[in-house]
Structure 1
Amino acid sequence: MSLVPSPPNERKYPPLKPDPPFQEPPPVVITPCDPWPPPYYLEDGLRKVTPYHYTYNTYCKQRWRGREILDIFASEFRDRPTEYYEQAIIEGRVVLNGKPVPSTKAIVKNGDVVSHTLHRHEPPSTAKPIGIVHEDDDIIVIDKPAGLPVHPAGRYNFNSIIEIMRADRGYGWNPLPCNRLDRLTSGIMFIGKHRQAAEDMSAQIRGRTVKKEYICRVVGDFPEGEVVCEKPILQISPKLGLNAVRADGKEAKTVFKKLAYYPPQDGVKQVDEAAKEGEEHMAWKQKRGYSIVRCFPVTGRTHQLRVHLQFLGHPISNDPIYANQRVFGPSLGRGSTDAENDETIMTRLSRMGKEDIADAVAYHDEMVDAYNKRKAEKMTGETCSICDTPLYSDPGVHELGIYLHARRYHCEEGKWDYETGLPEWALPPPGMEGPTESTKESDPLAVDLRKLGLEDSDQTEQDAANAYTGTDTDITSGQQLSAGAGA
């Protein structure tokens, strides 16, 4: 049988239509104004930023899937009221995948890009420069000032460690943080000069060979000896950045050791007259004076040191969240593991920085004068002439940070060891004697992890990487959760 060619098929078939029909991806929403150099100016000891327009672009987070777009903004971001976000959606300042949102009830799906353009008002930050502890061709070890977030987040963009360092060294320079600290926390941080250096240092920090030591100042006379707190920590509200000791939380372990105790200036541990009379809101004043405490985080949960110190009854004395009697009541949350009052606590905390000033214990500290007690960041009642954004007053100096400092990071293998001196608030007050250095001679932190049963903890790599890094969320400034779609 011979092979013969088949006649050509004259029938024409239409091209297949994709199901669903293919659509080109939406164009990326571009920020209408990206000022350079950053519009910084210094005033009254603060670094301020002239307001400017900005567009947030954020891919749909897992917890956003299947939710209405207005519900996402109203529940996740607290910088502005729900009415603002509703109007922004209607007027097209909030778009989904580069296109106007048809309704405030539009459902956000996996893969969607949410964009929000606004007139951005950044809070002031400290004008204190970023200290350099060590610098070589690969790494910069900095002493981060309190009051600055590491990355742009929430209401902060140019007022962040990354953007300030970029402004100092040039637009094309890309600082790569290897670890992170809370906005309110000061101390040691590592900045990679190039990607390989950042990856190498980050890998060390993720391992178990890097140890960290913090210094804090807490309410009252902290107990002697090594105090171990192993209470699990649960995130109560991601929106408010609130965490607490709860039985169903994640494992957390911290070792504390007192460095010094300084009684009140009158030299007597007396109870305030109002407390003697049983006035509940003054009960915390029964703890007079303060202690300087060294902290060794074995795990790294968000706000771990702050939450454990609060649980022990010795919160960081100017902590606007965990030492806030208007939120936690006269006991300041000591020994509390009960979730029954969580809703009440979150309601009270949400008012801080808006209707109320965050009344931390240290506002009554003898080292905070009457002027600073009155001066605090809160809504002024005025609005921006361009965007009607509610305006805040400048923060007081006591609001720019808390008494928590990452003093030392060191490699157990002896490859490197970086530390700072004691911060000013940890030095002896005028007229009193006490340690001016945290050294082996003045106060050895004789923490024997094997003896304490902590050496073989099942600490995860993420725990070690964080080792109390916390988040950049702070309630007193009304900041929202992330730098994503909200502002």
Structure 2
Amino acid sequence: MEHTLDRLNFTVTDETGRIDKVIPEKYSDFSRSQIQTWLKEGHVRVNGRIEKANYKVKAGDVVTIEPPEPEVLDLIPENIPLDIVYEDKELVVVNKPQGMVVHPSAGHSSGTLVNALLYHIKDLSSINDVIRPGIVHRIDKDTSGLLVVAKTNRAHESLAAQLKEKTTLRKYAALVHGVIPHERGTIDAPIGRSKENRQKQAVVKDGKAAVTHFKVLERFARFTLIECQLETGRTHQIRVHMQYIGHPLAGDPVYGPRKTLAGNGQFLHAAALGFKHPVSGEWLEFEAPLPPVFRDTLERIASSEK
């Protein structure tokens, strides 16, 4: 097998099925939709020929993948309002609004938290790649709430280490479908890319360890408001774990049911964040109130039951 940064070759041995499924199963870095696009554009060939996504591979087929040149993203400071909860020379804590992407990526080259940070903060840590300056951890686009951003490299290293050592405090408010009967629970189930849909995450045997603790805050007739505390920080962790136990997040367009609460995505809010200051060692803890759309939805649900 030949594998370089710009080219990958492999020979089919015991793999079977459509080529747009075989490649993502063999290489989890590639999503099925990405491979389908590359097949259409001629970036994937079988035995030197361009094939369609439904081509059935057979033993001996030589598959060549030559990904297109990555999109070059220009980081442009943008005067986007920021809700800064705390700031000093080492770090800044922000309350991210729902609908804002954390850092630029293909399809989201502007309007991100990073674009706003570059305008308001300017000096950010340079440990990550150029499109993620200062970003120590992320929350989903449609999840609101608290994030800590590093302004210096020493702050970044300390905060990243605390996350890895699971010594930070991260609590989320989540509205889920169904009525959870018990007061507390812990979901300890590994998460990885879904075998059925490569664009989604799922609980899978060979996934990475993931632990979510939750407790019930309030019960409604058809929903439950819970507080989730993360031990780990896997992609879509709370959304995947709550779906796994049969209580998907309300409003979640990916992991929730079709008939759900109207909104701009999942009702999930990073409500509390705590960590040791990278320099002083002082424990810092911050809270952010529920955004209006979340609060109004809870009031509407409660009033409908009277």
Name the TM tier (shorter chain): 0.5 to 0.7
Aligned to 1:308, the other structure's residue is in SS state helix
Task: Give aligned-pair identity as a percent.
Answer: 26
Q: Whole-Å Cα distance in 2 between the matches of residues 421 and 261 of structure 1?
A: 19
- 1:150 counterpart (75, 99, 102): 102
Change (3 A) 1:82 1:209: closer
Deviation at residue 78 of structure 1 after TM alignment: 3.2
Query: Match for residue 12 of structure 1?
Result: none
Number of the residue aligned with 1:361:
259
Distance 2:225 2:220 in 1: 8
Match of 1:224 among 182, 188, 202: 182
Matched, 1:423 2:291: yes
- The aligned amino acid for 1:65 is L
TM alignment of 1:232-381, pairs within 5 A: 232-236=190-194, 240-263=198-221, 289-324=222-257, 360-362=258-260, 365=261, 368=262
Query: Judging changes above 3 Å, is the alpha-carbon distance between structure 1 residues 183 and 67 closer, same or farther for their aligned structure 2 residues?
Result: farther
Match of 1:132, as an amino acid? Answer: I
Q: Secondary structure at the match of 2:299?
A: coil
Q: Is the 8 A contact 1:60 1:114 kept in 2?
A: no
Question: Residue 432 of structure 1: CA displacement?
Answer: 4.2
- Is 2:194–2:204's contact at 8 Å kept on the other side of the alignment? no
| 1:158 and 1:164 in contact (8 A); partners too | no
Shift of 1:67: 5.4
In structure 2, what is the Cα distance between the partners aligned to 1:233 and 1:172?
Answer: 31
Q: 1:192: how far off?
A: 1.4
Q: Give the equivalent residue in structure 2 for 1:96.
A: none
Give RMSD over aligned pairs: 3.9
Task: Determine the C-alpha separation between the residues in 2 that align with 1:238 and 1:210.
Answer: 33
Structure with a larger share of its residues in strand: 2
Q: Which amino acid aligns with 2:234?
A: R
Kindly indicate whether the alpha-carbon contact (under 8 Å) linking 1:256 and 1:296 is maintained by their aligned counterparts in 2.
Answer: yes
Corresponding letter in the other structure for 1:197:
A
1:11-410 equivalences under 5 Å are 60=5, 65-66=8-9, 76=31, 78=33, 81-82=37-38, 85-86=41-42, 107=64, 114-116=68-70, 129-168=81-120, 175-236=133-194, 240-263=198-221, 289-324=222-257, 360-362=258-260, 365=261, 368=262, 398-399=263-264, 401-410=265-274
Query: For residue 243 of structure 2, what is the amino acid of its counterpart?
Result: Q
Matches of 1:238 and 1:406 in 2, distance apart?
29
- What SS is found at the alignment partner of 2:283? coil
> When the two structures are superposed, what TM-score results if normalisation uses the length of structure 2?
0.68
Report if the CA contact (8 A) 1:233-1:243 is conserved.
Answer: yes
Q: Which has the higher contact order (CA 8 A, sep 6+)?
A: 1
Q: Distance in 2 between matches of 1:168 and 1:291?
A: 38
Give distance in 2, aligned partners of 1:77 and 1:167: 36
SS state at 1:306 partner? helix
Distance 2:124 2:162 in 1: 27
Counterpart code for 2:201: N
Q: Contact 2:102/2:113 (CA < 8 Å) preserved in 1?
A: yes
* Equivalent-residue separation in structure 1 for 2:64 and 2:206 (angstroms): 32
Note if contact 1:146-1:402 (Cα within 8 Å) is conserved in structure 2: no
| Aligned partner letter, 2:5 | C
CA contact 1:317–1:361 (8 Å) conserved in 2:
no
What is the count of residue pairs matched by the alignment? 254
Q: Deviations over 1:140-193 (max 9, x none)?
A: 101112222222223112132112322455699974112111222221111112
Q: Closer, same or farther in 2 for the Cα pair 1:308/1:138, shift >3 Å?
A: same
TM-score by length of 1: 0.45
Instruction: Decide whether the 8 Å contact of 1:210 with 1:410 is kept in 2.
Output: yes
Q: Distance in 2 between matches of 1:207 and 1:315?
A: 28
- In structure 2, what is the equivalent of residue 393 of structure 1? none
Query: How far apart are 1:300 and its partner, in Å?
Result: 2.9
Inter-CA distance 128–224: structure 2 relative to 1 (3 Å threshold): farther
Q: Which moved more, 1:136-145 or 1:205-214?
A: 205-214
| Structure 1 unaligned regions, length at least 5 | 1-58, 90-101, 121-126, 264-288, 325-359, 369-397, 434-487
Alignment match, 1:330: none
For residues 222-274 of structure 1, give each alpha carbon's deviation from its aligned partner in whole angstroms, at most 9, with x where no partner exists: 223111222333322597431222344443322111111233xxxxxxxxxxx
The structure-2 alpha-carbon separation of the partners of 1:233 and 1:173, relative to structure 1 and needing over 3 Å to count, comes to closer
Gaps of 5+ in 2: 12-18, 25-29, 51-61, 74-78, 127-132
